[in-house]
Structure 1
Amino acid sequence: MKRKVIIASIGAAVALGGAYVGGTWYAGRAAQDTMQKQHEWLASLPYFIVKNREYHRGWFTSTETATLQVNPDYYRFFLEREGEPLPVFELKYVQHITHGPLPLLTQFNLHPYKAVVDTEFQFSPDTQKFLSRFFGEQKPIQVENRIGFSDDGVMNIKVPSFEYEEAISGVKAKWQGLTATLDYGGDFNSIKLNALAPGLSGDAKDKGSFSFKNLSAALDHKRGTTGIMIGSSSVQLEQLNLNLSEGQPLKLQLDKLAYNGLISEKGEFIDGLARFTLDKLQLDNKPYGPAEMVATASHLHGPTLAKLSDELTRLQKQKLTRDQFTDAVVKLAKTEGMPLLTNDPRLAIQSFNVKLPDGAIRFSAEVGLKGFVAADIDKPVDLVNKLDARADFNVPRKVIETVASWQARNMFGGSDSGISNDDLDYLVGQFVEGQINRLAEQKLIRVDGDLLSADARLSQGTFTLNGNKVPLPWNQPATTDETAAEH
């Protein structure tokens, strides 16, 4: 009886082992298909050019090696010099793929995955030598990709912390690292990102210092029915400090700078919202803030946006000169972008509010098209008649004087000019006062004590400024000379 039990146990173990080995082979083949899809997605991005790629599949593990080049079109405008070769930025990486169904078994993790991929970046000797000054023997970046059986997965990214110091120059730096988690769906049709960099500080002897604290980013997007990725995104910075003591001294501190964005879908139309906020800005011991700006875009034709995005990516991956790329973009806008204009789009800065030591600035504006047709593009008057726009602002008089004084001091001030700042401020004050009075007499602005304001509106071909109708050029009565010429 015991012999039968032992034989049965051995048979079961052999069967399980065979099933696992077979499952590993199957998972390895499926993982290769998934890695091919992920490679094609990476290659489809306009940011990179894939120079080469090799894939070697084994039974339990596989290896993928690839070299990426940053697309030169993204830095050509900044680094290209006539007669000089354009620098090339390349990155080689090796991906070590452990096949499922239990790729983390050696780590006592029984969670099933199709594969787990560890990415190793290989830098040039000079780059590696430079990075070693900061990271030592640590890998500058670590990436682990856990791929599920539905091609969804979780990618964990880590940049380790370091402390750096140069005794001779007195340069010090402390980097507290970065961690990020990217959850993605099959075919990258949904993406969730959370990233955090706790801080970076640097100090250069007798020159200044720099630091930031708690920089975080979040993204939650999924592909909509129009092909556009919709959802929310945010970036937050708790604090930024900059103190320059060399040359023109500067002391700056930002507190709680944030961006929040939302892209939504209504049928085949896309709406977008972006909100920027700042709790406080301390500039040379003067407080500014809080500040907020809210911008929106509404009723944008989603299928057109998706098509333009695909075509722009295609153009960016072609080797075009600057002029050729510009001509191609203009042609693309004319041939494919027209539905963006013919579907009553609207853009707006809903609010822009900044509190300053001398008061507050408030501004808002929006512009939209109503009833636009493709033929209007060649008829400026008809185009203007389809515009619906407005703008208004409020600004303290003292703010205008302060900005003008800054400009005057930069242009005419200094120890070599022989003009004192007090004299410059007096002259600027007189000039600004004269300009304000002149604009008020022409009804271009309103003056209410120390507050300056204006509002403008364009609707159905009629333009009003501060409530006063202003004739447009084509609505002006013909002059005597023009009338005589017609006869």
Structure 2
Amino acid sequence: MKKSAGVIGAVVILGGAYLGATWYVGKQAQAELERVVAQANVRLLKVLGPDLGGGGIKLEISDYQRRFFSSDVAYSLHLKDEDGKPVDIKLRDHLQHGPFPLDALRSGDFTPMLAHSQAQLVATPATQKWFDSQQGASPLRIETRVGFGGTGKSAWTFSPAELVEGGDKLSFSGGSIEMSFSNDFNDNTAAGKFASFTLANAQTGENLDVKNIQGSSQTTMVAENDIKTQSSATIDTLVVGRAAEGAVTVEKLSINLDSRQKDELLDGALRYDFGRVAVGDIDLGSISVGGKARQLDVAALAALAGEYDAIQARHGAAGDQDLALTDAEEAALRARLMAVLASNPSLAIDPLVWKNAKGESQASLQVDLASPGGAPEQAVDVLLAETLKRVKLDLALSKPMFIQAFGQAQGDAQQKLQMEMLGAMIYDQYTSRLRDAGLIKVDGDQAAAAILYENDSVNVNGQAMPVAEFMQRAMSVLM
């Protein structure tokens, strides 16, 4: 009797301890979620700047109903569309408290955790058509296991969808994204894949078809306010345009992004590699293009873009050519531009490579900018001269590659030959002019130029000259 009483007492104690732990963990889960949401908004503010991150996009917990063993949570992501109108995306989450959530135990996971989350998208005006394609079911489900110490894993599952509106038909294969978090949720890795995405218009014949999309990313907080990101994506085939008019086909497209942001300053490199580009039956070969930025103040740049968009909205201008700035608006834009230049940013296209069966051509351009020393009200030409600290252009052009690219504009063999002859004539004519002006060097079938502007002087292929002389030589080619 004493033994059975002791067992019962132990069970009661253990049960009470578990209930107490569950209550405590549930309370901690709420505090942790509120902290992570606040942290996400701070990051958005840093990346987008106060003009966009402060009012354009925000994540919030709109409702939190905490009970003993579980909680029901509602999240809202507030955005603005291109017209400035509010757009809301909402999630509903059923959160089972740790340390041993029931659904995790059912799946065979006995790891102690803070919470187990089962979230799904909720219908809003912005997502209603997506829901209609699922006969009312949620098209997005998210399962997340939140560990202790700022760790976790999340799986996002997108359902296939077929949407028809007007003459447009959208077909989506569905897909998945897997994420993991560590370092107090500051570090994360993600990988996702989608089999296909198609948007077609039967009336116009316009078509967008994307096959086998895969992507991955890794974000690491190196130090406080110092975030490093590496992302990549690949697409097997991308077709856009009207088939009857020769749609553009891209095969083996890859995108790579490396960036590091310290406070508001961003260093980044973005590269696109197009394995094969074709327009109809015309094979253009492969194209690679990379862009780089250094010491770019993203907050100041976002403020400049926001200022310009606000001015354009006030004027109701359809394009830049329709925009007539007032003195006050011009002064406001100049002030925003000076803030961008204050960090002495550098921008580059490096490299641009175009290859076909006959050869390869390359180009690279680097522009180092500086904050002008004079007053921002000074003339545009003076302001530009002070802003351009260093400009470097390198160019290498292959004659056989150029001729083939020129000739492919025609499908008929005789017309193609004529176009190749015309391409050769244009190449010879302009390379001769540029060579005579001392702006390029020609070596066999290769033309190359190396131009450097620095300290109010231009160096062309190793020969220094004043800016005025360089401009005269360039104008002589165009005359």
Same fold (TM over 0.5): yes
Partner residue of 2:181?
A: 184
Partner residue of 1:7?
A: 5
- 8 Å contact 2:293–2:348 — kept in the other structure? yes
Task: Report the 3-state secondary structure (helix = DSSP H, G, I; strand = E; otherwise coil) of the residue aligned with 2:133.
Answer: helix
1:440/1:65 CA distance change after superposition, 3 Å: same
Tell me the distance in 2 between the aligned counterparts of 1:336 and 1:429.
44
Partner residue of 1:415?
A: none
1:333/1:150 CA distance change after superposition, 3 Å: farther
Aligned residue pairs, count: 431
- 8 Å contact 1:384–1:461 — kept in the other structure? no
- 8 Å contact 2:265–2:298 — kept in the other structure? no
1:205/1:50 CA distance change after superposition, 3 Å: closer
Q: What are the within-5 Å matches in structure 2 for residues 164-183 of structure 1?
A: 164=162, 175-183=172-180
Partner residue of 2:437?
A: 442
Partner residue of 2:397?
A: 395
1:329/1:277 CA distance change after superposition, 3 Å: same
Matched, 1:334 2:333: no
Q: What are the within-5 Å matches in structure 2 for residues 285-300 of structure 1?
A: 285-298=281-294, 300=295
Q: Which amino acid aligns with 2:236?
A: E
Tell me the distance in 1 between the aligned counterparts of 2:182 and 2:7.
40
- 8 Å contact 2:338–2:371 — kept in the other structure? no
- 8 Å contact 1:385–1:460 — kept in the other structure? no
Partner residue of 2:141?
A: 142
1:315/1:432 CA distance change after superposition, 3 Å: closer
Partner residue of 2:278?
A: 282
Tell me the distance in 1 between the aligned counterparts of 2:304 and 2:209.
39
**Structure 1, unaligned runs of 5 or more:** 77-85, 410-419, 477-487
Specify which of 259, 262, 268 is matched with residue 258 of structure 2.
262
Task: Report the 3-state secondary structure (helix = DSSP H, G, I; strand = E; otherwise coil) of the residue aligned with 2:109.
Answer: coil
Tell me the distance in 2 between the aligned counterparts of 1:387 and 1:126.
46
Tell me the distance in 2 between the aligned counterparts of 1:165 and 1:227.
42
Task: Report the 3-state secondary structure (helix = DSSP H, G, I; strand = E; otherwise coil) of the residue aligned with 1:275.
Answer: strand
Matched, 1:245 2:243: yes
Q: Which amino acid aligns with 2:123?
A: F
Tell me the distance in 2 between the aligned counterparts of 1:455 and 1:295.
19
Tell me the distance in 1 between the aligned counterparts of 2:34 and 2:287.
47
1:385/1:125 CA distance change after superposition, 3 Å: closer
Task: Report the 3-state secondary structure (helix = DSSP H, G, I; strand = E; otherwise coil) of the residue aligned with 2:145.
Answer: strand
Tell me the distance in 2 between the aligned counterparts of 1:62 and 1:329.
49
Tell me the distance in 1 between the aligned counterparts of 2:134 and 2:455.
63
Matched, 1:93 2:91: yes
Greater Rg, structure 1 or structure 2? 1
Tell me the distance in 2 between the aligned counterparts of 1:329 and 1:148.
47
Partner residue of 2:459?
A: 464
Partner residue of 1:116?
A: 116
The alignment's C-alpha RMSD in Å is: 4.5
1:352/1:381 CA distance change after superposition, 3 Å: same
Shift of residue 423, structure 1, vs aligned partner:
9.2
1:330/1:26 CA distance change after superposition, 3 Å: farther
TM-score (norm 2): 0.73
Tell me the distance in 1 between the aligned counterparts of 2:334 and 2:420.
47
Report percent identity of matched pairs.
20
Shift of residue 42, structure 1, vs aligned partner:
4.3
- 8 Å contact 2:92–2:120 — kept in the other structure? yes
Shift of residue 131, structure 1, vs aligned partner:
2.5
Q: What are the within-5 Å matches in structure 2 for residues 62-461 of structure 1?
A: 62-72=71-81, 75-76=82-83, 87-103=85-101, 104-124=104-124, 127-128=127-128, 130-132=129-131, 134-136=133-135, 138-162=137-161, 164=162, 175-185=172-182, 188-201=185-198, 207=205, 210-225=208-223, 227-242=225-240, 244-246=242-244, 249-263=245-259, 271-298=267-294, 300=295, 308-309=297-298, 321-322=310-311, 331=335, 334=338, 338=342, 340-341=343-344, 346-357=346-357, 359-368=359-368, 375=373, 380=382, 387-397=389-399, 437-448=432-443, 450-461=445-456
Q: Which amino acid aligns with 1:360?
A: E
Task: Report the 3-state secondary structure (helix = DSSP H, G, I; strand = E; otherwise coil) of the residue aligned with 2:148.
Answer: coil
Shift of residue 33, structure 1, vs aligned partner:
0.8
Partner residue of 1:20?
A: 18
Moved more, 424-433 or 96-105: 424-433
Tell me the distance in 1 between the aligned counterparts of 2:123 and 2:261.
42
Moved more, 250-259 or 383-392: 383-392
Q: What are the within-5 Å matches in structure 2 for residues 29-48 of structure 1?
A: 29-44=27-42, 45=44, 46=53, 47-48=56-57
Give CA-to-partner distance per residue, 1:426-455, whole Å, 9 cap, x none. 888877765555444433444455544332
Give CA-to-partner distance per residue, 1:187-238, whole Å, 9 cap, x none. 5421212111122356777947653332122111112336131142211112
Q: Which amino acid aligns with 2:80?
A: N
1:209/1:71 CA distance change after superposition, 3 Å: closer
Tell me the distance in 1 between the aligned counterparts of 2:306 and 2:457.
45
- 8 Å contact 2:450–2:461 — kept in the other structure? yes
Task: Report the 3-state secondary structure (helix = DSSP H, G, I; strand = E; otherwise coil) of the residue aligned with 1:155.
Answer: strand
Tell me the distance in 1 between the aligned counterparts of 2:306 and 2:467.
44
Q: Which amino acid aligns with 2:31?
A: D
1:123/1:327 CA distance change after superposition, 3 Å: farther
- 8 Å contact 1:213–1:237 — kept in the other structure? yes
Task: Report the 3-state secondary structure (helix = DSSP H, G, I; strand = E; otherwise coil) of the residue aligned with 1:33.
Answer: helix
- 8 Å contact 1:385–1:459 — kept in the other structure? no
Task: Report the 3-state secondary structure (helix = DSSP H, G, I; strand = E; otherwise coil) of the residue aligned with 2:253.
Answer: strand
- 8 Å contact 1:265–1:271 — kept in the other structure? yes
Tell me the distance in 2 between the aligned counterparts of 1:382 and 1:315.
17
Q: Which amino acid aligns with 1:11?
A: G
TM-score (norm 1): 0.72
Moved more, 30-39 or 321-330: 321-330
Q: Which amino acid aligns with 2:232?
A: S
